[in-house]
Amino acid sequence: MDPIRIAVVGVGKIARDQHLPAIAGNRAFGLAATVSPHDPGVEGVPHFASLDALLAGGPAVDAVALCTPPQVRYDLASSALARGVHVFLEKPPGATLAEVAALHSQADKVGATLFAAWHSRFAAGVAPARAWLAERRIDKVEITWREDVRVWHPGQAWIWEPGGLGVFDPGINALSIATRILPRPIFLQAGTLEIPANRAAPIAADLQFRDTAGAPVHMDLDWRQTGPQSWDIVIETDAGTLKLSSGGAVLTLPSGTSHDEDHEYPGLYARFATLIRTGQSDVDIDPLRLVADAFLRATRVSVEPFED
């Protein structure tokens, strides 16, 4: 079977650190081109300043991976889908729920695959956590996602702009795990967003959710963490405590702790290849919907200005 010819659009840190190695390690794909108006691309691979230039006169591609900021992703995805090209959307899948829904409808109409890729769901502990929780009563959930924005997103102005999500850029990873492993839906009841006086997006958030059976789900997000970083989900159940740490890589159950190597992006590309080969899409918007609800319902509090 011929490899799926894929182009990576947006050659920044996430593309170089994760997408390009995952593509290189998956025989289902062949890197056909890269696209960026700023980055020179990969040696020996055709490079274009825009997706339009690639689609108009470049090598043929079957799929694109969009690694750009979410605010510009809709037009890129729509242009690709209009030509029957399969689309991989880095998280978050878009700047709004409505544009993701429009892309999903367009993909269905043209028969192309659209994949909203939540990489944290492919962390080693997530699938076994989901299986273990399926038969448990959930009593309480505590999500703590604290990191240093200066380490992980230095100088990325877009992330503080409308549609860039602020602290929800990492926080949505936690929500992607929670919506995957918890046996019942959760929804927001109240919350606080701390927004720097010179920014449009929050630097911290404290959110109170509950599931449909009434179990409380508390979420603590902060981008001002220094020293050790915290990416933990602790779930109290009728059978004891489950803890996912290190962003889902480490799973601790009453029976012990398990840890496996990082295979998030290889897992994403394996899933993308399967979707393309079977003519399906995978567009789960639940994590983004919860973020939208936070912006809709939580109280906004102005805090001191933030500078990188």
Instruction: Measure CA 67 to chain center.
Output: 11
- At a CB cut-off of 8 Å and minimum separation 6, what does 219 contact? 143, 145, 171, 174, 175, 191, 205, 206, 207, 208, 209
Planar angle of CA 172, 163, 92, nearest 5 degrees? 35
How far apart CA 265 and CA 293 sit, in angstroms, is 28
> Residue 258 to residues 87, 245, 293: CA-CA distances in angstroms?
34, 11, 34
Whether the CB-CB separation of 150 and 173 falls below 8 Å is answered with no
The tokens describing 43, both together, are: 């040696």
For 112-261, strand residue ranges (E) read 114-116, 138-146, 186-196, 204-211, 216-222, 230-237, 240-245, 250-253, 256-259
- The helix-helix angle for 168-181 and 126-133 (nearest 10°) equals 40
From the list 91, 109, 140, 243, the catalytic residue is 91
Planar angle of CA 281, 264, 45, nearest 5 degrees? 80
HEC string of 155-187? CCHHHHCCCCCCCHHHHHHHHHHHHHHCCCCEE
Residue 13: CA count within 13 A, CB half-sphere: 7
The tokens describing 24, both together, are: 């290189």
How far apart CA 124 and CA 114 sit, in angstroms, is 24
- Residue 109 annotated as catalytic: no
Question: Which amino acids are annotated catalytic?
Answer: 91
